[in-house]
Structure 1
Amino acid sequence: MKTVRIVGVPEHFNFPWQMAIEEGAFEARGINLEWTNIPEGTGKMSQMLANEETDLAIILTEGIVKSIVEGNPSKIVQEYIASPLLWGIHVAATSDYKTVSDLKNAKAAISRLGSGSHLMAYVLGKNEQWDLEKLQFEIIDHLEGAVSALTQRKADFFMWERFTTKPLVDKGVFRRLADCPTPWPCFVLAATNKFSSEQARVLGHILEVINGYTAEFKNIPSIDRTLANTYEQKLEDIKQWMSITQWSQSKLSKETLEAVQNTLVDLKLIAKKLPPDAVLI
């Protein structure tokens, strides 16, 4: 049995992996797939790939591209979610901020530098034509840290996946001002160069299994109820989320990679671009 380590955020996007593990689909291929939830998100997972603390990661596209350009010895294996991620722009429920334009010169809570919440603050700033050099950040590690930072006024706003934070909006902890979708497919599967080169056959088996699960995922009877119960979401929210979410079994295109790198350069988040074969398997 070959042990393979994989990390991802504890969100509904990754439920197909949990199903495949629980149903023994990887074990049937001789693979002991060890899944670890990383609530801190992409910045932490990029670090784990770089340090070879994991073999694989389900990770935000823009975050891992930035990390690879900066020297992370990893590559993107394929798309995982082909649809954009809908980032909710949240403030404390008691905050005086009423519109996104009010957030100019406000401080953003981010999980860590290089995270999706960090990079998307720049995307938001560009969309709003703010001075990006004046963006301010408060590092809060994870969602619970964001709750503390916003309610204690240590930060002013927080961007996170809309449906994951919806229960906090419903409870009156956060108010969502608007949404900011990513301009590209949101999640990819990334692998360390060591793993993809030394375990190419094992990686191929993992892809066959998970791509089979994601291709059929939406057709599973009552999967929306299962997700609602598992992630403590309202059924109507899960139905809406599933209607706009598309799992992928395809490679990330060179055109998409170019668009991501162009945006990161434009936002001055990377100093150079890499050719596709330096980023994609």
Structure 2
Amino acid sequence: MTLQKPLKIGYVPEHFSTPLHFAQKYFGLDAELIPFPSGTGHMVTAIRAGEIDVAIGLTEGWIAGLGKTEETEENDGGYRLVGTYVETPLCWAISTGKSRPDIKSVDSLKGSKIGVSRIGSGSYVMGFVLADQQDWLLPTTASGSSAPYNEFIVLNTFENLRNAVNDGTADFFMWEHFTSKKYYDNGEIRRVGEIYTPWSSWKIVASTKLVSKSDDETKVDERVEDLLEKLNQGIKHFNEHQDEAVKYISTELDYSEEDAREWLKTVRFPERTQGVDLKVVNGTVEILQKAGVLSAGSGIQPEGMVAKRR
């Protein structure tokens, strides 16, 4: 019998990764954890390239990636949704440079230069959701879609985004609130506002190489099933040992103890990570279509995005 290789798991090395750390430390998760500080957009590229097998990232990034993919024999989108990692929405902080007196409020951002980690990333997708909420979306013209911003500046990393709003390369960017807060506190960047995702914020995906269909049944590789079960144990440990979670976040990650404790009040992980609610996917697709990120009738449809349903 040939032994299967441990999974390569992509993740964002932020406070949300703590249950994954516990799953490996205490519950025997046999996997190689590969950090992607540049976020979900980078993981979409990596899982399609075969560099990782499974990934934990933002709902909007995964769904936008599949919704923009026309499925063919040669291109199946590269991944499918298999699990739910966080039940609560994500608070995106809207940030600008410390010396930008021209940017006083969210209203000042219409037609400006938005910094994003990658095209298709959460920071990119949420730019359209913000524009939709602010009624900045313009009707499509004969020459194509009219974007709510003057330019999308691709900057890859959170550090590059912070630098860009201070040197004028970009006017603003959006990133998770508690990850941004340290840099408000030290005066490096300035907060303009915030926006919450209209959906539960983190999902787990697996490469299509680990998903198989027989008749009407879809199965995922046993290593993925083991990962989901170990994550359940990691989440349970996280919930029952919050002082340990705070210590890990404040010593191994880039957060203060105070911010770690405040974050704990805002986040809820599921008791069981297995599966994704199709209603959540449908609702996310509807909002992304309204925001102009996806087009109705195009790309992989919600039913085809989910390999493992709740």
TM-score range, shorter chain: over 0.9
Give how far 1:76 is off: 0.4
Residue 115 of structure 1, CA deviation: 0.5
Deviates more, 1:200-209 or 1:83-92: 200-209
2: distance between equivalents of 1:158 and 1:189? 25
SS in 2 for 1:226: helix
Residue 93 of structure 1 is matched in structure 2 by 98
SS of the equivalent of 1:134 reads: coil
What is the CA–CA distance in structure 2 between the aligned matches of 1:61 and 1:178, rounded to whole Å?
A: 21
Structure 1 unaligned residues grouped into runs of 5+: none
Comparing 101-110 with 194-203, greater Cα deviation is found at: 194-203
Match among 247, 252, 260 for residue 238 of structure 1: 260
Give 1:80's aligned residue: 85
Shift of 1:253: 1.2
Find out whether 1:117 has 2:123 as its counterpart: yes
CA distance in 1, matches of 2:22, 2:235: 10
The farther-off stretch of 211-220 and 256-265 is 211-220
Q: Distance in 2 between matches of 1:76 and 1:20?
A: 20
Q: Is the aligned partner of 1:173 residue 2:188?
A: yes
Look at both structures and tell me which one has the larger radius of gyration over its CA atoms. Answer: 2
Unpaired segments ≥5 residues, structure 2: 70-76, 139-146, 213-218
| Aligned partners of 1:265 and 1:273 also within 8 Å | no
1:215 matched residue in structure 2 = 236
Aligned-partner Cα distance in 1 for 2:158–2:126: 16
Which of structure 1's runs of 4+ aligned residues deviate more than 6 A? none
Structure 1 stretch displaced more, 260-269 or 53-62:
260-269
CA RMSD of the aligned region, Å? 1.7
Shift of 1:266: 1.4
Within 2, Cα distance between the matches of 1:235 and 1:172?
19
Instruction: Report the alpha carbon displacement of residue 235 of structure 1 after superposing the two structures with TM.
Output: 2.1
TM-score by length of 1: 0.93
Worse-matched range after superposition: 39-48 or 111-120: 39-48
Does 1:46 pair with 2:60? no
**C-alpha deviation, 1:263, in angstroms:** 1.2
Change (3 A) 1:65 1:221: closer
**8 Å Cα contact 1:215-1:247 kept in structure 2:** no
2: CA distance, partners of 1:16 / 1:265: 32
SS in 1 for 2:18: helix
Which of 165-174 and 217-226 deviates more? 217-226
How many residue pairs are counted as aligned between the two chains? 276
Aligned to 1:12: 15
Partner of 1:134: 148
SS in 2 for 1:176: strand
Asked if the contact 2:59–2:202 (Cα under 8 Å) also holds between the matched residues in 1, the reply is yes
Q: Does 1:261 align with 2:276?
A: no
Query: 2: distance between equivalents of 1:226 and 1:10?
Result: 12
Deviation at 1:23, TM superposition (A): 3.4
